[in-house]
A and B are shown apart, each in its own frame.
Chain A
């Protein structure tokens, strides 16, 4: 696979792209091969219907993997699903997987979980792959040096039928983060800091490659958090070159290559890092020292400030459209300009989602929560990303720490990140959430979402308001 020769220096993205070009027909988009297609219940039923309507088969069932995550309840498994429409959608996925022969990690599976959590966890996600899913947070898998991006249902059907996608080559952006993240400043804060700087459309049309010492120092969990949020800056994908951290994570996982295959795979993966001198269309430099724990104040992830700052004044917005957007956001959020972030009280706390529900996230939150009590005015919920994470956390006793502190400990799923299941905010409720979107109504109509890291969410649950976790007194 690793071509050599007198090629111009290439970026990681360009290497992965080049390795997957099936055809480049004149005057058409490039046809890219898709190594892995992840499927869930919400964006797939119409795609399977399309196959049936056109008498098409599923080309590569073994390059397809399905699970249920978006609308399943996080109450104990085995109870019937109260919402008949959600139940019907889950049944449709089960039926489609049976009919087309798709591997499915179903409701009662020991491997069930959020699709972007279980792919990596099972070693199905590997470096250098092309990965798609009918979900914008597919960018998560870029943490492994894969080109991974979200697609719509028509494209889901396209991949089911052909295992390929016609694609226009995006532009490339490098985000280089030098220095070291301070204690209490996490991958989530790095992601929020980047989006705050770029804006929610700053990377539209680009694929991001994250590089620099602060990125190299991140665990795989941290890298997944960072790549996950790429879409919130408009980028379809975000990649990090695979290295020893990556190989150590992948090694020994259930579907990862074994024995001789493993050695060959690692040899190839080592060739993926960008060549010295490879050119990007845009380069952004960030100093990790400039970052703090961040809290969003508005209704998109770019509306964000450091925890020790204040809600911005309207006059600070140069453009009329941005000022009006901020005004509308503050009205929705029930906040006044100039309010100190630490003075904002919360009603709910959600620790979970494909952004921050992995074992390291739960460990970080548990460290803050240990020996403490959730503020009596707050309802706080921890939703592990997968059944495997739930088991691992329980083995470590993290669930005890959460339960003793007054957090709810739930079953795995997307849960309150998008509130398709019964876990939703009531109108006016304010939530510190480790998820990825603070859009109006995202967590429930009228609900007010503030995006934060797992440590910041746990601290807010205990304090009853946002508080700078850098000053936390650990038990």
Chain B
């Protein structure tokens, strides 16, 4: 996994609440069997015409397509970002598009977990702070934020500065880009002991035999 230590980038405001993963990456793009190549389909139905069988025309008025946000790598959005389907494709699409950070007042659980596994930092701030970043990113051309996971600080060099919270273990994994499967496998002895006490249902073998 790509580690995350600190990042400075242009902020793009997506001023909507409850942005669900069906919007982030519509279902017609979930049939790929790779982890890559989802970026061009990010927010497809809001950005392009057509159903995706042939690439549609850019609608043009979506905030991500405004030239001033072309280089954005930090997305700020309303509450409950990433709700709905568990599809990790949503995170792959955001990361593949070039996002390193999403800021919102709340995130859906599974989305936040999926982000962690892909080096995409989800930053929870309170509603007033989110509204302030939203306002500044609309009003100030090329508005940038510095997001530092080492110091758990977000600041814009223009007077906006705040800290954010993250549990220590997730932070440690993100900072070091750790493969958490490797961490779990360090508990091989405990897993094996648990399994010895709780055997699997052997009858499942009949399906394999068939």
A6 to chain B, nearest CB (A): 23
| Interface presence of B84 (CB below 8 A) | yes
B50 to chain A, nearest CB (A): 8
User: Which of B106, B185, B200, B207 is the one whose CB lies under 8 Å from A105?
Assistant: B207
B110, A236: Cβ atoms closer than 8 Å:
yes
A321 to B104, CA, bound (A): 13
Query: Residue on A with the closest CB to B187?
Result: A23
B88, A89: Cβ atoms closer than 8 Å:
no
**What residues of chain B lie closer than 8 Å to A124, measured between beta carbons?**
201, 204
Q: Indicate whether A441 sits within 8 Å of B26 (C-beta atoms), given known contacts A234-B80, A234-B83.
A: yes
Q: Indicate whether A420 sits within 8 Å of B86 (C-beta atoms), given known contacts A236-B110, A441-B22.
A: no
A164 to B203, CA, bound (A): 22
Query: Residue on A with the closest CB to B180?
Result: A166
**What residues of chain B lie closer than 8 Å to A280, measured between beta carbons?**
none
| Interface presence of A65 (CB below 8 A) | yes
A155 to B194, CA, bound (A): 20
**What residues of chain B lie closer than 8 Å to A335, measured between beta carbons?**
none
Contact with B along A419-460 (1 / 0, CB 8 A): 110000000000000000101111001000000000000000
| Interface presence of A294 (CB below 8 A) | no
Interface centre among A29, A85, A201, A204 (most CB of B within 10 A): A201
Q: Indicate whether A45 sits within 8 Å of B191 (C-beta atoms), given known contacts A103-B204, A152-B113, A161-B185.
A: no
Contact with B along A258-295 (1 / 0, CB 8 A): 00000000000000000000000000000000000000
**What residues of chain A lie closer than 8 Å to B30, measured between beta carbons?**
42, 70, 420
Query: Residue on A with the closest CB to B201?
Result: A255
**What residues of chain B lie closer than 8 Å to A89, measured between beta carbons?**
31, 33
| Interface presence of B128 (CB below 8 A) | no
- Stretch binding the partner chain, chosen from A56-64, A352-360, A398-406: A56-64
B131 to chain A, nearest CB (A): 9
B45, A445: Cβ atoms closer than 8 Å:
yes
Q: Which residues, 11 to 42 on B, are CB-close (under 8 Å) to A? A: 16-18, 20, 22-23, 26-28, 30-35
Interface size on B, residues (CB 8 A): 58
**What residues of chain B lie closer than 8 Å to A228, measured between beta carbons?**
none
Q: Which residues, 134 to 193 on A, are CB-close (under 8 Å) to B? A: 134-136, 150-155, 157-158, 161-164, 166, 168
**What residues of chain A lie closer than 8 Å to B195, measured between beta carbons?**
33, 60, 163
B86, A150: Cβ atoms closer than 8 Å:
yes
A321, B185: Cβ atoms closer than 8 Å:
no
B118, A162: Cβ atoms closer than 8 Å:
no
**What residues of chain B lie closer than 8 Å to A201, measured between beta carbons?**
18, 79-80, 83, 106, 108
B180, A136: Cβ atoms closer than 8 Å:
no
**What residues of chain A lie closer than 8 Å to B87, measured between beta carbons?**
42-43, 152
Query: Residue on A with the closest CB to B50?
Result: A445
**What residues of chain B lie closer than 8 Å to A157, measured between beta carbons?**
181
Interface centre among B31, B84, B117, B205 (most CB of A within 10 A): B31
| Interface presence of B9 (CB below 8 A) | no
A135 to B110, CA, bound (A): 10
Q: Indicate whether A153 sits within 8 Å of B33 (C-beta atoms), given known contacts A103-B204, A234-B109.
A: no
B109, A420: Cβ atoms closer than 8 Å:
no
Q: What would be 14 A-B contacts, judged by CB atoms less than 8 Å apart?
A: A33-B195, A63-B200, A85-B32, A92-B33, A105-B207, A136-B84, A152-B114, A154-B118, A155-B117, A161-B185, A200-B80, A204-B80, A204-B108, A420-B27
Q: A35-B198, A200-B80, A440-B23 are in contact. List 18 more A-B contacts (CB 8 A).
A: A22-B191, A28-B169, A28-B183, A42-B31, A42-B87, A43-B86, A103-B204, A104-B207, A152-B91, A161-B181, A161-B184, A164-B184, A164-B191, A166-B169, A205-B109, A418-B22, A441-B22, A441-B26
